[in-house]
Structure 1
Amino acid sequence: MKKTILLLVFILGLNGNAQQADVKKTITSFFEGFHAKDTVKIKAVCHEKMMLQSVVEGVKSSRLVDEKTAEFYASFSTFPADLKFEEKILGYTIQIDGAMAHAWTPYEFYVNGKLSHSGVNSFTLFKENDTWKIIHIIDTRRK
């Protein structure tokens, strides 16, 4: 009986780790597309109803900014070809409950090799047809 319980706990633990790895893979794919300015790759991991928001932190106050998903995708075509940007993810904290997942990812954002700002991304994902899709991204931004 003890062996059966231990085996069950082990199997459930492996499933949880696999689910977290799948969530992390979805976010990694998002950033691969982001850095390559590849909206096709980005859209492949984002839900059609995805919401984008930012909390922009100022010295005296902060403000919440909404971004339309279509404008986000369209913005990539306006970037100069020589513009290089990189969002370095400093870690992942992932929580999953059924078909919903949340990932907390501190980051540093670099433009042409220089630190522009830092903060935290908060991703909410939905598992649809056995595939994790990003449904909400909100981030903090501070200089």
Structure 2
Amino acid sequence: MKNLLLLIAVCFTITVNAQKAEIENTVKTFFAGFHAKDTMKIKSVCSEKIILQSIMEGQKGTRFEDEKPAEFYKSISTFPADLKFEEKILSYNIQIDGKMAQAWTPYEFYINGKFSHSGVNAFTLYKENEVWKIIYLIDTRRKKQ
């Protein structure tokens, strides 16, 4: 009986770790597309119904904004070719419940090698046809490092 319980626990751990790796790879694909200004790559891991929101903290207070997916994709595709930006993900905290997952990713954002802002991304994902898709993304943005 103990061996059976141990086997079940090991199989469960392997399955959860595999799921977490899939979710992390989905987020990494999103950022690979973002850094390459490749909207097709970003769209490949996002639901057509994705919701995008931001909370921006600044000297004049805090703003909460919605962004339409079409505007988001258009803004990425129109970045100047010489503009270099990098969103450095500092860690991944992934939680899963069935077909839903949450990835919490603190980050630092750099433009042309210079610190711009930091915050946290909160990705909500849905497993659709055995593929994890980003259905919701909200981030915080603050200038202080």
Q: Same fold (TM over 0.5)?
A: yes
1:80 deviates by: 0.8
Residue in structure 2 matched with residue 33 of structure 1 by the alignment: 33
Aligned residues with identical type, % of pairs:
66
1:106-132 Cα deviation digits (max 9, x unpaired) = 000000000000000000000000000
TM-score normalized with structure 1 length = 0.98
Tell me the SS of whatever aligns to 1:134: strand
Measured in 1, the distance between the counterparts of 2:131 and 2:76 equals 25
Tell me the SS of whatever aligns to 2:11: helix
Structure 2 unaligned segments of length 5 or more: list them: none
Measured in 1, the distance between the counterparts of 2:102 and 2:5 equals 29
TM-score normalized with structure 2 length = 0.97
Tell me the SS of whatever aligns to 1:120: strand
Residue in structure 1 matched with residue 70 of structure 2 by the alignment: 70
1:27 deviates by: 0.1
- Whether contact under 8 Å (2:127, 2:133) holds in the other structure is yes
Residue in structure 2 matched with residue 115 of structure 1 by the alignment: 115
Measured in 2, the distance between the counterparts of 1:16 and 1:77 equals 35
Alignment of 1:49-88 (within 5 A): 49-88=49-88
Measured in 2, the distance between the counterparts of 1:126 and 1:71 equals 22
Measured in 2, the distance between the counterparts of 1:40 and 1:97 equals 28
1:59 deviates by: 2.8
